[in-house]
Amino acid sequence: MILYGYFRSSAAWRVRIALHLKGLTVENRYQHLRKGEQLSPGYLAVNPQGLLPSLILDDGAVLTQSLAICEYLDEQYPDPALLPSDPVTRARVRALAQVIACDIHPVQNLRVLKALQARGQTPDNTNGWARDVIGGGFDALETLVAGQGRPYAFGDTPTLADICLVPQMANARRFGVELRWPRLAAIEAACLALPAFAETHPDRQPDAE
């Protein structure tokens, strides 16, 4: 398999974590987001959205969107499971993942911030907006995972929820958010003690700057 990513892309980091948890190896190809390499004709032929990540399977099929890729990997390689067997808990895991991937993360996407700045917003304004969205989202997440008393978001093993949370915590730091959510911090610490999270950290990627 071939994974197109970028060291600081939180969506690509999600897929790296999932691959590592499943014990799968891939060929990595890097698209430098700040240089616009994701908009090259060659990459647009892979992913017409010009977004990362993309995963090319052994048979040449192309998968896009990090949550869809992670769920594909979970279906094809079910051990260890990224989604719980209990339907209610599985729905809660998916909901937390979507709070991050659909509601919190998109406003920090480089494409979005550049578009706002092109329309007259200053970097201070756009970064402040990103911090506000992260803060409000994390307030909700802290409540959603409160009172469980287990190391990870929804149990004793990492799930898709943790795979989304840890990269978003790194995003929060990058935007200067004061991390005042003890339960989220504890989950992050438990995850980063695992090789699947630590070894896929952006700082440890070959294309890191």
CATH number, domain of 177, equals: 1.20.1050.10
- Mark the ranges of the chain whose per-residue pLDDT is less than 50: none
Query: Looking at residue 20, which CATH number applies to its domain?
Result: 3.40.30.10
Domain check: are 98 and 181 in the same one? yes
Count of structural domains, the chain: 2
Which token pair is 24? Answer: 């799968």
With respect to residue 162, please indicate whether it lies within any of the assigned structural domains: yes
Domain check: are 105 and 190 in the same one? yes
Residues 99 and 137: beta-carbon distance below 8 Å: yes
Give the pLDDT score at 26. 97
Task: Spell 97-133 as b/e; 16+ CB within 10 A means b.
Answer: bebbbeebbebbbeeebeebeeeeeeeeebbebbbeb
Residues 107 and 130: beta-carbon distance below 8 Å: yes
Domain check: are 67 and 143 in the same one? no
Residues 11 and 53: beta-carbon distance below 8 Å: yes
Domain check: are 189 and 117 in the same one? yes
Residues 6 and 14: beta-carbon distance below 8 Å: no
With respect to residue 207, please indicate whether it lies within any of the assigned structural domains: no
